[in-house]
DNA sequence: TCCTAAGCGAGACGGTACGTCTTGTCTTCCA
DNA sequence: TGGAAGACAAGACGTACCGTCTCGCTTAGGA
């Protein structure tokens, strides 16, 4: 038994994955056809269907690999990991994102489909917050944190709250949500914005 | 001449918009065809093309309306709006999300395309953080903030940082990014998690 | 109601039929692809499938037309038609074959496919001859030969003559062919059909 | 050198031939795939291509065998064979058809494909008959009917009889069929061939 | 009796055609 | 004039076969 894995097959899979990412980065997920992928990988179109049902499955298989790697690196969360400033696990998400940056770009920054909208909204919120912060924080204030980093962080937190709110049928009013957001954001703001601001 | 806009036309536009949203919620943006939309609106397919070039444009026109409304409500950011706890503008994003919740769901929670991936990643990060917080925060700790709200907020902020980082060619290392995130998150954590934690 | 039949459609059907015949004569039925047909007809491949399920159906629709014409020309077999030397119906099969000689060649001489058609035609001719013989031969007549054996024998002989005629470029008119057939068949008929029939 | 042919090979060839015929009778020539054949024969698909280039060649090889047998049985047409009522060669076509009735059914009654074979068989019979007639009819004989017209007519009649015989489950022996054919053909032959021939 | 080449199974691969689906354009007609 | 109906071109989809190929296993028959 123990069929030899046929080295050809593994090579083919790798070629397809690479071609997909390359093509997505070039023209966007929706615009990529199976033909594009196989052309770019120098394979026959039928060969694609030998291994995957459609291009979504190919993308998913790549993402699954990446995701499994992420989970494995995190491992079981150690009890006190979170607040300890120097625990190495704090690096995991960012290192992981950097290593798989092509795949992250493909998904997080997608300019197609509804993902584009989400990105548009977050960017708008970030720039809107940026302006407000600009006004609220004296230019003199401590440069401990770049303003657009701060703005994006807050915008991302807000979007996440809204998503969670609309997804779960959590019984909160818009006002309660706004208050929660304020409570969550205020400690950070007070730290990085001018501390002379009123409560 | 300046013909009257023909009330029929407005009705047709509205029918198309509503049909699109209904269909997206039912089967997801990608799976919706122009035929689906016009069938659902009881219109001919050709009629669709009288008003829009393609379904993306129809979606965009709906989103543009929604978005314009958001911008208008925010208006010019008043100088001191951000930190003032009770400024009414703090409600705007959440009220807006609630009013247009169908459209928000369509975009933020999409189960299709690459948007699904982003959501998957954020959910994973949120649950991972949730576990860590669970461990870090004594059950006794102040119930001021539901744990999953906190977890989602932090996960959203992290994703936003990563997106911003990969998009801009900002010259930061993964380590620097991880540190920034820690600095941004720590004040909030110290506020809502057990304050006896070290450092 | 009564939608106008859209002249375009009729033209399209004709183009497809002509293209099919031309391509079959050029490379044989099996080797003809739908793409070949639509290319030759200057139409889109999808247009083909708007009107026919597959190339067999297109061929069948052509043959059906041809066949209906043949049946109509024969009409109801007149009682004494068969042995009467100069009855005009004796010309029908040969004239018909000549008019539709392209289609006949496609089916009778085909180096590929469509044996079904030949069998269909022979069976039709045999049953037609059977009816005529039934009328011409008194039931009392000698049972030396089953009627359907006789009918099939004659139909086979006729088809063979037509095949040979259309294949060889033998310089005979339809009338000459019909006469030859009559001469070949008459001795047999006189033997097995009622001998009181006129010469 | 010159290894002996490995008994397995012969077995494989037989398996393939049988599987082809069985499958054709079941679903028609066109619908049979190489996979069907090898599945039915319990062989690998690659094995098929070890022995034949394609399924047509496999069919042809079977038909060739059958055909060679037919030619051999006829042998050289004896000069006076044709009109002699009891010459054994008159049985050959019908006996042959009966023995190979599966293959005959496949080709003569096929609802799909292989018209080419039927034409080949008829042409062979016609030319065989032509030679016999040539011998039987004194060159001096009446030119009332071209010999090849006569030969094709008779061959067509014979094929039609065989088709009818194999299709209907008519309870006739090969001998009875041969006699019927002789009775049907004789009047015509006596009219157009030298009348001095024995009955 | 071994051993060696043939026969064979398995399955990856490139290729071609299939029949289906959707898109966007266009034309004709109706209300 | 807005809309309905539907023909059409274009092109991607996923499926089905084809014929080729490489890789090992098995086994018959010659040494």
Query: How many angstroms separate the CA of D3 from the C1' of E3?
Result: 15
Q: What pLDDT, on a 0 to 100 scale, did the predictor assign at position C10?
A: 82
pLDDT tens-digit readout, A129-158? 888 777 766 554 556 788 889 999 999 999
CATH number of A55-195: 1.10.357
What is the average per-residue pLDDT within D23-48? 91
Q: What pLDDT, on a 0 to 100 scale, did the predictor assign at position C19?
A: 94
Question: Does position C84 have pLDDT exceeding 60, yes or no?
Answer: no
Residue ranges per domain, chain B? 7-52, 55-195
Given an 8 Å threshold on Cβ–Cβ distance, is C149 in contact with D180?
A: yes
Q: What pLDDT, on a 0 to 100 scale, did the predictor assign at position C3?
A: 46
pLDDT tens-digit readout, C13-67? 999 999 998 998 888 888 899 999 999 999 999 999 999 999 988 988 888 888 7
DSSP assignment of B1-55 equals ------HHHHHHHHHHHHHHHHHHHHH-TTT--HHHHHHHTT--HHHHHHH-SSH
Q: Locate the chain B residue with the closest alpha carbon to A61.
A: B117
Q: What's the Cα-to-Cα distance from B65 to each of B53, B72, D120, rounded to whole Å?
A: 17, 11, 75
pLDDT tens-digit readout, A150-197? 999 999 999 899 888 888 876 788 888 988 998 999 889 888 865 444
CB-based contacts of C77, cutoff 8 Å, min separation 6: C89, C128, C131, C132, C135
Question: Does position D35 have pLDDT exceeding 60, yes or no?
Answer: yes
Q: How many angstroms from the chain centroid is the CA of residue C187?
A: 25
- Nucleotides of F strand lying within 7 Å of any protein CB atom: 1-24, 28-30
Q: What pLDDT, on a 0 to 100 scale, did the predictor assign at position D136?
A: 63
pLDDT > 70 fraction of chain A, expressed in percent and rounded? 79
Q: Is B55-195 the same fold as B7-52? A: no
Q: What's the Cα-to-Cα distance from D193 to each of D133, D188, D199, rounded to whole Å?
A: 8, 8, 12
> Which of B183, B186, B148, B178 lies closest to B161 in space, CA to CA?
B178
pLDDT profile of chain B (199 residues), mean per 10: 60 90 86 93 91 90 84 65 59 83 79 72 82 66 77 91 84 87 89 56
Q: What pLDDT, on a 0 to 100 scale, did the predictor assign at position D88?
A: 62
Give the highest mean pLDDT range of A132-141, B78-87, C71-80, D160-169.
Answer: D160-169
Q: How many angstroms from the chain centroid is the CA of residue A136?
A: 29
What is the residue-averaged pLDDT of chain A? 80
More confident residue, D92 or D30: D30
- Nearest beta carbon to residue A91 from set B129, B174, B192: B174
End-to-end Cα distance, chain A: 72
Burial of A181 (0-12, 13-18, 19+ CB in 10 A): buried
Question: Does position A45 have pLDDT exceeding 90, yes or no?
Answer: yes
pLDDT tens-digit readout, B124-182? 888 888 877 776 665 545 567 888 899 999 999 998 998 888 888 767 888 888 889 98
Q: What pLDDT, on a 0 to 100 scale, did the predictor assign at position B196?
A: 47
Question: Does position A95 have pLDDT exceeding 90, yes or no?
Answer: no
pLDDT tens-digit readout, C154-186? 888 888 888 888 877 767 888 888 888 888 888
Question: Does position C69 have pLDDT exceeding 70, yes or no?
Answer: yes
Given an 8 Å threshold on Cβ–Cβ distance, is D160 in contact with C164?
A: no
CB pairs under 8 A between C and D: 128
- Nearest beta carbon to residue C156 from set D111, D160, D180: D160
Query: How many angstroms separate the CA of C47 from the C1' of F7?
Result: 8
Of A69-73, B10-14, B56-60, C192-196, the range with the lowest mean pLDDT is: C192-196
Q: What pLDDT, on a 0 to 100 scale, did the predictor assign at position D5?
A: 62
Q: What pLDDT, on a 0 to 100 scale, did the predictor assign at position C85?
A: 54
Residue with tokens 């995701």: A67
Alpha helices in D5-114, H assignment, sequence order = 7-27, 34-40, 45-51, 55-74, 92-99, 101-108
**B44: distance to nearest CA of chain A, Å?**
25
With contact defined as 3+ CB pairs under 8 Å, the chains touching D are C
Q: What pLDDT, on a 0 to 100 scale, did the predictor assign at position D103?
A: 78
Do C185 and D149 touch, CB atoms closer than 8 A? no
3-state secondary structure of A51: helix
Question: Does position C145 have pLDDT exceeding 90, yes or no?
Answer: no
Fold of the domain spanning B7-52:
Arc Repressor Mutant, subunit A (1.10.10)
Question: Does position A54 have pLDDT exceeding 90, yes or no?
Answer: yes
Provide the b/e sequence for C1-20 (b: ≥16 CB within 10 Å).
eeeeeeeeeeebbebbbebb
Given an 8 Å threshold on Cβ–Cβ distance, is D184 in contact with C153?
A: yes
**A159: distance to nearest CA of chain B, Å?**
7
Residue with tokens 């619908």: D31
User: What is the SS3 string spanning A152-177?
Assistant: HHHHHHHHHHHHHHHHCCCCCCHHHH
Of B35-39, D168-172, D175-179, the range with the lowest mean pLDDT is: D168-172
Q: What pLDDT, on a 0 to 100 scale, did the predictor assign at position A137?
A: 62
Q: What pLDDT, on a 0 to 100 scale, did the predictor assign at position A143?
A: 64
Q: What pLDDT, on a 0 to 100 scale, did the predictor assign at position B199?
A: 37
3-state secondary structure of C63: helix
CA C74 – CA C127 distance, rounded (Å): 12
Residue with tokens 């698909």: D45
Do D82 and D116 touch, CB atoms closer than 8 A? no
Q: Which positions in chain D touch C118 (Cβ < 8 Å)?
A: 115, 118
Are chains B and A in contact at 3+ CB pairs closer than 8 Å?
yes
Q: What pLDDT, on a 0 to 100 scale, did the predictor assign at position D4?
A: 59
**pTM (two decimals):** 0.77
Model confidence at C197, pLDDT cuts 50, 70, 90, reads very low
> In this complex, which residue's CA is closest to the C1' atom of nucleotide F1?
B6
Model confidence at A82, pLDDT cuts 50, 70, 90, reads low
Provide the b/e sequence for D89-111 (b: ≥16 CB within 10 Å).
bbbbbbbbbbebeebbbbbbbbe
């Amino acid at each position: 038994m123990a069929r030899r894995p046929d080295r050809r097959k593994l090579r083919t899979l790798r070629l397809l994955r690479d071609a997909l990412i390359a093509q997505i980065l070039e023209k966007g997920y929706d615009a990529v056809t199976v033909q594009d992928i196989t052309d770019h990988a120098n394979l026959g179109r039928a060969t694609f269907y030998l291994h995957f049902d459609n291009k979504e499955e190919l993308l998913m298989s790549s993402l699954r690999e990446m995701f499994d790697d992420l989970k494995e690196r995190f491992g079981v969360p150690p009890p006190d990991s979170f607040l300890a400033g120097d625990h190495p696990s704090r690096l995991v998400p960012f290192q992981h994102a950097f290593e798989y940056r092509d795949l992250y770009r493909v998904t997080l920054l997608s300019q197609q489909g509804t993902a584009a909208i989400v990105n548009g909204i977050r960017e708008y919120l970030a720039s809107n917050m940026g302006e407000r912060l600009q006004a609220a924080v004296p230019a003199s204030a401590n440069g401990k944190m770049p303003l657009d980093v701060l703005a994006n962080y807050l915008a991302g937190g807000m979007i996440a709250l809204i998503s969670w709110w609309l997804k779960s049928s959590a019984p909160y009013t818009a006002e309660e949500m706004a208050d929660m957001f304020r409570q969550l954001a205020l400690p950070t703001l007070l730290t990085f914005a001018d501390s002379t601001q009123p409560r």
